[in-house]
Chain A
């Protein structure tokens, strides 16, 4: 027994010794550790032109996009310093900055941009997300031939000089520059593999081969653990203040990232609204419009005929106190919206907010000849909203509707993405769904969900968007020749949607990030889908 006690004591001492002497990182460098891959759209393994390209915030640290989509209504010149179009918007000329450098000291030129265009449009370019290359290049002349393997280059993209690139479009596009906000230029002199090897190649994670143009470059990588970036002395905006950024992988687990932030092991992560209370004080909280509008989607093919009557849909909105739900249940982390356009500067003054009025709801139902008891709503959410806030909001809505006699069942199914998509097909039996849709001011196409030409628009849900005028409103948006006209057309679309209520817009969410107090000049923006956006990471610093 004495021997056992001694053994136990020795084991405990060794354990404490290990805890005490466990090594820490070198203290003489300015290093921060962040969880940039956490949150909606985050992809810790993301690379340019693949699945994580548009949605992950770390790619732009080592490869610069040509243009940034700032939150709201701005496009920020980045690698591309300026752009202009001819009179009919069929030729666009982009001018690069003259001080862009790759991390090996080579200048970034228009030839790299041309190389990128030809490389990613090759017929055998291996990517899991062709949508990004389509967005950047599909309206250039010769795109189809190039993608079919019938052309040796993308003829619609040509180099004028070292700093000037010209796009010749197959159709006029007054806002072609918008399509460039996820164009990541690749280094012609350093890419040492074929387009067919793009997806499986380790180039982007190999410090010996990878050359970047962002404020940082890859210095170390361990799969599923971390990605270390060190400063790029050739960055065009100046050498970064930080020596290293360690992007720690959390597998998308927000809870693990929040706990790591609480423990002081990381300096920043995306957080859910419910995490803010847990964190308490001592953190800088960033927040902003996520542009993800949450609404009740209706499948007119499968719901009773009376849902075609707008008074029924209006009654539903009047019956729900959205202000109370957003302020008390959703704790002001969401804001009521009158239409799918979530930017208040585009809301007309005469929009109908369908403010809580259960008596009016009952009146409207009576006028339409519909007995509330006959209205059955079975709606489903999905795993993107499986948190206590949305749960509570759904229950609150259920209670409000029950107050005016509407039977509704909320089946809160935690459907994963493939199941959700497979369930909610054009021919599926679904009737209602509680869902969100990211609709940033640029980069989004309302036709996708509200027009007959979109994948989940009119034909999908059996709503006659053509006759209702929604198609026309969306066409006006896409045909607008100036930014002012574009915003005006969006405002008109918002007003029309508000009037027609093809679906029931509820609220738009804010998204939050929390940074430790030791970070200085840190900046984060919850852009729709995660970015990319301009975050001036070369200025990030730490105190002390």
Chain B
């Protein structure tokens, strides 16, 4: 297993390299650049041509694109992600602050989604065609179909604005640094994110359980007189989880996307809002740094999925 993990990590390095090159090319071919973002109609009248040249020089935009990429890569290998053009803060500092916030939000959504989605999937599989099966399935379709930003806004309107149960955005109350306050702010965006995960995990678990429950070995176990919960938890669920593990792993990128929308709506200071604002303003160091981090997270998530897969299914062994 150890050599397998090491091999996967080594294979992923060129993948990361390709990702950075592709992102760099996309940023390069996008119309406009950083200086266009800085220069407004208001300030344009007071800026000279030399000012614009100096600005480009200051941002390193006068270098040819390949040179800029190579310089950036060189700094990355030294752990230097550069400075944000807009916020004048080291990118590592920004990413460090934001990634924790994003992982908290995403992690909450994922954990809640798994811990509720799987039991609900089992529940509905065992009550196929019942009222609760139809009701939960219907709700899951609604949840899957509804875009994150819509459910986020609806959730905020109902629970924050109308009912005043939770704060209307933000990560904490100014000046208060307590866990309960953090949780208070996390509840709504976390639940919204979790609801999307719950719905899809529930659906896959239900489908997978229904397939497994009709297998011969399950029927044999039942016929042997084993208790129902033993049959379900020890025989059926374990096998039914195999495809669900894959789905969970593949949902990580979707979780990141969902987090971007929710972070914007709930003004949650995470990677999503940082990345979005960086793209709008062509803040190159943040775009490249954030993309690199996100790519690493996705690749690690895939690796973790494979490892968990082998844990769940002892038949699978990586060499």
Among A60-68, A243-251, A491-499, A510-518, the stretch that binds chain B is A243-251
Docked-complex contact A263 and B89, CB < 8 angstroms: no
Interface membership of A256, Cβ < 8 A: yes
Docked-complex contact A418 and B32, CB < 8 angstroms: yes
Among B63-71, B169-177, B287-295, B302-310, the stretch that binds chain A is B169-177
Docked-complex contact B45 and A448, CB < 8 angstroms: yes
Interface membership of A207, Cβ < 8 A: no
Interface membership of A226, Cβ < 8 A: yes
Closest to B266 in A: A256
Contact of A251 among B44, B46, B273 (CB under 8 A): B273
Interface membership of A10, Cβ < 8 A: no
Interface membership of A455, Cβ < 8 A: yes
Interface membership of B215, Cβ < 8 A: no
Docked-complex contact A455 and B167, CB < 8 angstroms: no
Docked-complex contact A251 and B36, CB < 8 angstroms: no
Contact of A454 among B36, B45, B280, B282 (CB under 8 A): B45
Contact of B170 among A24, A199, A248 (CB under 8 A): A248
Interface membership of A288, Cβ < 8 A: no
Contact of B180 among A4, A23, A417, A421 (CB under 8 A): A23
Given A259-B168, A263-B167, A263-B168: A421 and B47 within 8 A (CB)?
A: no
Given A256-B169, A256-B266: A220 and B174 within 8 A (CB)?
A: yes
Given A223-B97, A448-B41: A131 and B173 within 8 A (CB)?
A: no
CB distance from A257 to the nearest CB of B (A): 8
Interface membership of B253, Cβ < 8 A: no
Q: When chains A and B are docked, how far (Å) is the Cα of A265 from the Cα of B266?
A: 13
Docked-complex contact A223 and B89, CB < 8 angstroms: yes
Docked-complex contact A255 and B174, CB < 8 angstroms: no
Closest to B176 in A: A23
Q: When chains A and B are docked, how far (Å) is the Cα of A21 from the Cα of B173?
A: 13
Give the chain A neighbours of B43 by CB distance below 8 A: 54, 129, 131-132, 135
Docked-complex contact B33 and A25, CB < 8 angstroms: no
CB distance from A361 to the nearest CB of B (A): 30
Contact of B34 among A15, A224, A256, A418 (CB under 8 A): A418
Give the chain B neighbours of A259 by CB distance below 8 A: 153, 156-157, 160-161, 168-169
Interface membership of B48, Cβ < 8 A: yes
Q: When chains A and B are docked, how far (Å) is the Cα of A248 from the Cα of B172?
A: 11
Interface membership of B235, Cβ < 8 A: no
Q: When chains A and B are docked, how far (Å) is the Cα of A443 from the Cα of B41?
A: 11
Interface membership of A45, Cβ < 8 A: yes
Give the chain B neighbours of A250 by CB distance below 8 A: 169, 267
Interface membership of A306, Cβ < 8 A: no
Q: When chains A and B are docked, how far (Å) is the Cα of A19 from the Cα of B33?
A: 45
Interface membership of B217, Cβ < 8 A: no
Q: When chains A and B are docked, how far (Å) is the Cα of A443 from the Cα of B45?
A: 10
Give the chain A neighbours of B266 by CB distance below 8 A: 256
CB distance from A120 to the nearest CB of B (A): 13
Give the chain B neighbours of A84 by CB distance below 8 A: none
Interface membership of A505, Cβ < 8 A: no
Give the chain B neighbours of A15 by CB distance below 8 A: 187
Interface membership of A480, Cβ < 8 A: no
Contact of B37 among A54, A135, A252, A418 (CB under 8 A): A418
CB distance from B203 to the nearest CB of A (A): 21
Docked-complex contact B269 and A25, CB < 8 angstroms: no
Interface membership of A260, Cβ < 8 A: yes
Contact of B171 among A225, A262, A421 (CB under 8 A): A225
Docked-complex contact A262 and B161, CB < 8 angstroms: yes
Docked-complex contact B180 and A22, CB < 8 angstroms: yes
Give the chain B neighbours of A448 by CB distance below 8 A: 41, 44-45
Give the chain A neighbours of B58 by CB distance below 8 A: 126
Q: Which of A106-134 contact B (CB under 8 A)?
A: 126, 128-132, 134
Contact of A263 among B164, B176, B187, B267 (CB under 8 A): B164
Interface size on A, residues (CB 8 A): 69
Given A248-B170, A250-B267: A130 and B31 within 8 A (CB)?
A: no
Contact of B174 among A130, A225, A253 (CB under 8 A): A225
Interface membership of A420, Cβ < 8 A: yes
Q: When chains A and B are docked, how far (Å) is the Cα of A196 from the Cα of B277?
A: 26
CB distance from A48 to the nearest CB of B (A): 14
Give the chain B neighbours of A19 by CB distance below 8 A: 165-166, 184, 187
Q: When chains A and B are docked, how far (Å) is the Cα of A528 from the Cα of B42?
A: 9
Interface membership of A188, Cβ < 8 A: no
Give the chain A neighbours of B88 by CB distance below 8 A: 199-200
**Which of A22, A226, A445, A528 has the most chain B CB atoms closer than 10 A to its own CB?**
A22
Docked-complex contact B181 and A22, CB < 8 angstroms: yes
Interface membership of A149, Cβ < 8 A: no
Among B11-19, B79-87, B133-141, B244-252, the stretch that binds chain A is B79-87
Q: When chains A and B are docked, how far (Å) is the Cα of A121 from the Cα of B89?
A: 23
Q: When chains A and B are docked, how far (Å) is the Cα of A192 from the Cα of B172?
A: 32
Q: When chains A and B are docked, how far (Å) is the Cα of A405 from the Cα of B302?
A: 59
Interface membership of A336, Cβ < 8 A: no
Docked-complex contact A256 and B267, CB < 8 angstroms: yes
Contact of A223 among B31, B45, B269 (CB under 8 A): B269
Docked-complex contact A253 and B89, CB < 8 angstroms: no
Interface membership of B183, Cβ < 8 A: yes
Give the chain B neighbours of A447 by CB distance below 8 A: 45
Interface membership of A309, Cβ < 8 A: no
Contact of B54 among A24, A130, A226, A444 (CB under 8 A): A130
Q: Which of B40-62 contact A (CB under 8 A)?
A: 40-48, 51, 54-55, 58
Interface membership of A33, Cβ < 8 A: yes
Contact of B46 among A128, A131, A249, A256 (CB under 8 A): A131
Docked-complex contact B51 and A226, CB < 8 angstroms: no
Interface membership of B38, Cβ < 8 A: yes
Give the chain A neighbours of B277 by CB distance below 8 A: 251-252
Interface membership of A55, Cβ < 8 A: yes
Give the chain A neighbours of B282 by CB distance below 8 A: 418
Closest to A135 in B: B46
Closest to B166 in A: A19
CB distance from A2 to the nearest CB of B (A): 12
Docked-complex contact B174 and A251, CB < 8 angstroms: no
Contact of B31 among A4, A138, A246, A422 (CB under 8 A): A422
Given A131-B46, A224-B269, A253-B267: A419 and B153 within 8 A (CB)?
A: no
Q: List 6 A-B pairs, minimum CB-CB distance, nearest first.
A: A418-B32, A131-B43, A422-B32, A263-B168, A422-B31, A22-B184
Known: A18-B184, A417-B32, A423-B32. 12 other contacts (CB 8 A): A22-B173, A22-B184, A23-B180, A128-B86, A132-B46, A200-B83, A223-B89, A259-B156, A420-B32, A438-B41, A448-B41, A449-B41
Q: Which residues of B are at the interface with A, using a C-beta cutoff of 8 A?
A: 30-34, 36-48, 51, 54-55, 58, 83, 85-89, 94, 97-98, 119, 153, 156-157, 160-161, 164-176, 178, 180-181, 183-184, 187, 264-267, 269, 273-274, 277, 280-282
Could you write out 9 A-B pairs with CB less than 8 Å apart? A18-B183, A55-B42, A128-B86, A134-B47, A228-B174, A248-B174, A259-B157, A419-B31, A456-B41
